[in-house]
Amino acid sequence: MPTFFLDNPLGLVSAIAIPILVALYFWQRKATSKIVPAIFLWPAENRSSNAGAKWRITRLPLDFYQFLLAIILLILAAAVPYVVTNQKFPPLNIILDDSMSTQAGKTKEKAIDHIESVARKFPQRRFLVYLAGHKPTLIHDDSKLPNLAQIWLPGKSNADLKAALAFAKNNCPSAEYIIVTDHIPTFEIPEDTAYVAFGKSFNNLAIVNAKRNDDKILLELANAGDKQANATLIVNKAQQQLDFKPDERKSLVVKCDETIAEIHLKAQDDQLEADNYAMLVNDYKPPVNVKIHDAIPEKLKNAIRRTIQTNINLAEKADAQPELIIEPASEDTPHSASRILWYLPADENAAISDAPIVPVTAHPILDGVPLGNLIWPANHNQQIPGTTLLAQASTTLLAIQNKQNNAFDLMINLHQSLGNVHRNPAWPTLFENIAQYIKANRPGPTQANYTDNESIQLNLHSIDATKITHATQDSKTTINTDNSKKIVLEATNGLHQFTTESHTWNVAVNTLDPEESDLTNAASFKKDIATQIKFRQATKSNIAWLLALLAILVLIPRFNYP
């Protein structure tokens, strides 16, 4: 079905001439008077009136309507109307940068105005709106443009525009695309994509990083800009004044005893408020209690104990439930806790190979473990169950086998002499990773503080909960666990509280990013779709000439007048 549009809506401004001309017309009618000697010889005025009406309205002559119609037609022609067939227009994919920097200045307002002006030209086409964010999300797909001010809520610590464009192209191919952001493009923009940026460079004070461990908070504060600045740092109720030189970055350690620390970097005339706040939850987790089986050889036992003593994430308390049991594989005592099953080869079976030790399967336990220069005496004929993590040639050195309760058995094929493994940085790293892995798999959130590009993970093993209440500042929902042992949620900015019948966990999500807070990178930029003109020329028919012709036809009878 054809639809009418205006290519030059400003042409309608001339419509203000109508009341002016009508007023002039009536004034001219009044002003043109003629004195006649015998008015009774002239026909009476042609008037129409309603019975009892106080005012009688003079019926206007045909000329008046002719001119009025001609003027209206000419005004419409000046607005350059055209007819389009909607189906011929490709959908418009609008990719919105929802990173927090687009909150600065009037970026968002200008961008919305621009999109609406683009949309007005072809209002009936299909509109798809995406929020770029860390992962692109389609939030609207309809023949009407949504209220962008309501659905475009920038607040992410970053927006991957390139990934969002790729997502949009995959989701809706053969269409037009427009990226709306606040900075110049950092990648090549395809021909079928428009790119508009309405950013403006500002100085900005921001919290660019925040970490917490127990009662200590590490803050990184930045003054992105070429001017000196001062601010007040408020951590819950404690305040301190800070002075910043141009482009200065400060690192501070602040002590906080409260479970939840609310941090506010208060500065005057700050163009971006979002990066002046952070919230950190106490992330303290008790160390992993280790039980070393008596059957473990003394040298190995000593090496393990030295590591436990130097690692705050490990402890050996006899009066507490062990979370990690270290025992010879020959013992294999069933236990719900995680275990290190040590395959201790007999002296005659142990051998050292020159083959390189390589990781076979990626696993958090191997993160950062240096594998060079390791002398690893092992039984090269030993069959090890589970998933091989480390191997030397065909020999499994390290394997893992998960248990139903989220615990694991870690099998180590290592002679009790230990080669140089216990003197290598690989040794403490391996134990640190094991401790962290166990801590991360404890019931509850894997960590207390997230950034918004992460996902909140809740471990529910050993928790008998069918429902979890999830409360944020703005909402409160109930999550059905469906007997799953792990729940993954999108990390949205703010404080989250998860409650089961037996547990309550707090999680804070922050949107801090040094690059995003550097508003000196914001700029204006515009690139139109190269193929856009072709699309529109092919589908629209200008009818301004038709209206102008009609106006002339209406006026032709007037040309006979003297």
Partner 1 sequence: MTSTVSNIIATACTMAQNIKLAPIRNAAGFDGTKIGRKSGNALEFVEYRDYQQGDDIRRLDWNILARTDKLLVKQYAQEIDPRCDIVIDQSASIQAGEGKPDAALAIAAILAIAADNAAFSTTIWHAHDNWTKDPFPTTPENWTNLDFNATLSPGQNAKFHLEKIQKRGIRFIISDFLWPQNPIELLQAFANGAIKTVAIQLLNPDEINPPPGGIATLIDPENNERRLLNLDEKTIGSYKQAIKNHLELWNNAAIMTGTQFIQVNAEAFSKAPNLEPFLKAAIIQYL
Q: Give the binding site for partner 1 (CB under 8 A).
A: 28-30, 32-45, 58, 61, 63, 562
Q: How far out from the chain centre does Cα 47 lie?
A: 70
Q: How far is the CB of 31 from partner 1 (least distance, A)?
A: 9
- In angstroms, the CA 66 to CA 553 distance is 10
CB contact at 8 A, 206 and 272:
yes
Q: State the nearest-atom distance from the C-beta of 38 to partner 1, in Å.
A: 4
Nearer to partner 1 by Cβ, of 34 and 54: the residue is 34
Distance CA 176, CA 128 (A): 10
Place of tokens 């990184």: 220
In whole angstroms, how close is the CB of 144 to partner 1 at the nearest point?
48
**Alpha-carbon dihedral angle through residues 71, 75, 78, 83, given to the nearest 10 degrees:** -110
- Smallest distance from partner 1 to CB 36, Å: 5
Running DSSP on this structure, what letter comes out for residue 318? Answer: T
Smallest gap from residue 559 Cβ to partner 1 (A): 15
| Smaller CB separation from partner 1, 372 or 562 | 562
Tell me phi and psi for residue 455, to 5 degrees. -120, 140
Quick one: 38 or 253, whose CB is closer to partner 1?
38
Nearer to partner 1, 36 or 346 (CB): 36
The 8 Å CB, 24+ separation contacts for 17-26 are 17/71, 17/75, 18/68, 18/71, 18/72, 18/75, 21/67, 21/71, 22/68, 25/64, 25/67
CB of 63 to partner 1, least distance (A): 7
Are 448 and 281 in contact by the 8 Å Cβ rule? The answer is yes
Our CB check for partner 1 shows the closer of 26 and 284 to be 26
Distance CA 420, CA 485 (A): 39
Is the separation of the CB atoms in 476 and 462 below 8 Å?
no
> Are residues 423 and 352 in contact, defined by beta-carbon separation less than 8 angstroms?
no
Q: How far is the CB of 58 from partner 1 (least distance, A)?
A: 6
Non-local CB neighbours of 300 within 8 Å, separated by 6+ positions = 342, 344, 416, 418
CB of 68 to partner 1, least distance (A): 14
Q: Which is nearer to partner 1, 51 or 62 (CB)?
A: 62
